[in-house]
Chains A and B, each alone.
Chain A
Amino acid sequence: MKQIYVGLTGNEAVATAFKQARPHVAPAFPITPQTEMMHKFADFVADGVVDTEMILVESEHSAMSAAIGSAATGARTFTATSSAGFALMWEVVYIAASLRLPICMPVVNRALSGNINIHNDHSDAMGGRDAGWIQLWCENTQEAYDHALMCWRIAEHKDVRLPVMINYDGFIISHTAESLHILPDEDAWKFVGPKDLKAGYSLLDMDRPITVGPLDLTDYYFEHKVSQIEALKRAPKYIAEVYKEFGQLTGRHYSFFEEYRTDDADLVIVALGSTAGTAKDVIDAQREKGVKVGLLKIHMFRPFPAAELAKALSKAKVVGVMDKSASFGGWGGPLFNEIRSALYDLPARPKIHNWIYGLGGRDTDTKQIVSLIEQLQAIAKGREAETVNLLGVRL
């Protein structure tokens, strides 16, 4: 298949993928840095390129509520948000997952207020990690585009039926024009395929009328939560299948996490999102100097691939987990805690340290990552170090 080489911002690339997936409904409410994505998609609708019904709502809470109503009828539905917008839709984010609705939603990651900050960190999505959504994370514009195509196949699979959140870094990815390969519309459509409007259930099926979201008390609520837990346990198998099929189609192969130069690595950095790219360049330079360092970049944070991660990190001497969000009053960031917990049952655990970095969009340059690697080296040589550290902050 011949792909098209273009320059697009992350937002434009995701809008393009969604256009190619021909959604039926898209409730929209603007928030920086997501706005441009929905703006671009609205252009496609206005130009008649795609016949999605856009619903312009008055808040993010309404956007997600409208998405839930739409998806419950069986319609392919997406919305998008960032930061405070995601926080405002909180209540209904949980309901989307509880009702097992295959809604897709980019969370264009941005810091939470206050103070007001429009730039990137991962505080928004990390707050939603227990909401029952599948969470996929992207390093660059290419990965954001690819996941915006693949998410439909994952969300709508009859044995998954869960909402999918695609995370890409605000401004760093959303507003950066990058070169990437996109699929021709017909090939993208062939991959995504039409939604089975009758899959599971439909509000519009008069022969089998149902109620969605009724009162669910001590009698069955627990069982319904277990069905969500089980659905997330099943999801990795199908995510792997979709990744594999997409790889065969495009030559771009994804897995739950990417291992970069980790084969013989004593030191492994774990990261999410765009920082992983910067880290790869630093790792190449450090390798030239003989430093055995590698990177593990996580695509699938929910469901969390604990066993696979434990295996992948088992040979490292020191693991440095980078968290672009703080857990106030907690012990280290959310990614750190999950990685550390995943490694607990290993017979011989690597040392695991945490670095909180990049809050509110603080630029994470190569020097900061070099400094992190130097600290990992020192720890490997036996130097005592704090478990939770800060990177790139004025002290």
Chain B
Amino acid sequence: MAAATTEIRWHGRGGQGAKTAAIFLAEAVLDQGKHSQGFPEYGPERRGAPVRGFTRISDAPIRLHCSIAEPDYVIVLDPTLLDSQAAGVPDGASDDTVFLINTVETPANIRKRLGIKGGKVHTVDASLIAQECFGRPIPNMPMIGALAAVADVITLENLVASLVVRFKKKFSQAVIDGNVTAVERAYKELVSE
């Protein structure tokens, strides 16, 4: 049931890795014996268009096969989506929803921009971290690092281990090391209210 399932909604733009992050996290938590689901919302495929991704994590098998309307966590990879009504970042959020925003702004400012009173807002400059660590401003992996700091879905240790195993098939050691550093930095540099 929903109560035991953690529901995460990702907001990004085409090319920022929202889909990859949603599915990567779903696979990474399997190593902790969890059940999971990761899926994107498919529309016209073009770089820069708003895209959403979804991850469900549970101790029990997951049977729901619908979109996530009332997320426990909302992760925003691109701060320009905050003002887009079409992107619907605050849609369905409750007083318990946790927002993780890739931005240079403070949580208080973000709260104003989103127009929310409840919930919790955390910020981290994941694009900068990504640029500095592996030379490309792709914020998805550091944002998972930030999530590990606030959500009880994956430990930093397991996240890093999972990243190393899964990236080995595709990337050089330098890229892997850069991503590990980025994940660890975001985990530490997260700004909370």
**Which single member of B2, B34, B42, B64 contacts A118 (CB below 8 Å)?**
B42
Instruction: Looking at the assembled complex, report how far the CB atom of A286 sits from the nearest CB atom of chain B, in whole angstroms.
Output: 12
Beta-carbon contact of A7 and B42 below 8 Å: no
Complex Cα distance A281/B38, Å?
Answer: 18
Beta-carbon contact of B63 and A177 below 8 Å: no
Determine whether A119 belongs to the interface, using a CB cutoff of 8 Å to chain B.
yes
Chain A 12-40, CB-CB to B under 8 Å as 1, else 0, gives 00000000000000000000000000000
Interface of A with B (CB < 8 Å)? 5-7, 9, 118-119, 139-140, 169, 171-173, 175-179, 274-275, 277-278, 280-281, 284-285, 363-366
Instruction: Looking at the assembled complex, report how far the CB atom of A393 sits from the nearest CB atom of chain B, in whole angstroms.
Output: 16
Beta-carbon contact of B37 and A176 below 8 Å: yes
Instruction: Looking at the assembled complex, report how far the CB atom of A356 sits from the nearest CB atom of chain B, in whole angstroms.
Output: 17
Most chain B Cβ neighbours within 10 Å, of A179, A284, A364, A366: A179
Interface of B with A (CB < 8 Å)? 1-2, 23, 26-27, 30, 34-40, 42, 61-67, 69
A-B contact pairs, 13 of them (CB 8 A): A7-B26, A7-B27, A7-B30, A169-B65, A176-B37, A177-B27, A178-B26, A274-B65, A275-B65, A278-B63, A278-B64, A366-B2, A366-B66
Complex Cα distance A176/B54, Å?
Answer: 9
On whether A179 and B64 interact (CB within 8 A), knowing A284-B1, A365-B69, the answer reads no
Instruction: Looking at the assembled complex, report how far the CB atom of B51 sits from the nearest CB atom of chain A, in whole angstroms.
Output: 13
Most chain B Cβ neighbours within 10 Å, of A275, A281, A284, A366: A281
Q: A363 contacts which chain B residues (CB < 8 A)?
A: 66-67
Please give me the residue from chain A that is nearest to B2 by CB atom.
Answer: A281
Beta-carbon contact of A5 and B30 below 8 Å: yes
On whether A179 and B30 interact (CB within 8 A), knowing A140-B65, A278-B63, the answer reads yes
Q: A175 contacts which chain B residues (CB < 8 A)?
A: 39-40, 42
Q: A366 contacts which chain B residues (CB < 8 A)?
A: 2, 64, 66
On whether A179 and B66 interact (CB within 8 A), knowing A119-B42, A281-B1, the answer reads no
Complex Cα distance A350/B37, Å?
Answer: 37
Complex Cα distance A176/B53, Å?
Answer: 10
Instruction: Looking at the assembled complex, report how far the CB atom of B66 sits from the nearest CB atom of chain A, in whole angstroms.
Output: 4
Instruction: Looking at the assembled complex, report how far the CB atom of B53 sits from the nearest CB atom of chain A, in whole angstroms.
Output: 11
Instruction: Looking at the assembled complex, report how far the CB atom of B135 sits from the nearest CB atom of chain A, in whole angstroms.
Output: 28
**Which single member of A139, A280, A284, A365 contacts B66 (CB below 8 Å)?**
A365
Complex Cα distance A178/B64, Å?
Answer: 11
**Which single member of A5, A119, A171 contacts B39 (CB below 8 Å)?**
A171
Known A179-B61, A280-B63, A366-B66; 12 more pairs at CB < 8 Å: A5-B30, A7-B36, A171-B39, A172-B39, A177-B39, A179-B30, A179-B34, A179-B62, A277-B64, A278-B65, A278-B66, A366-B2
Complex Cα distance A14/B30, Å?
Answer: 19
**Which single member of A119, A172, A179, A284 contacts B65 (CB below 8 Å)?**
A172
Beta-carbon contact of A173 and B65 below 8 Å: yes
Complex Cα distance A173/B63, Å?
Answer: 11
The 6 closest A-B pairs by CB, nearest first: A277-B63, A274-B65, A7-B27, A176-B39, A365-B66, A177-B38
Please give me the residue from chain B that is nearest to A365 by CB atom.
Answer: B66
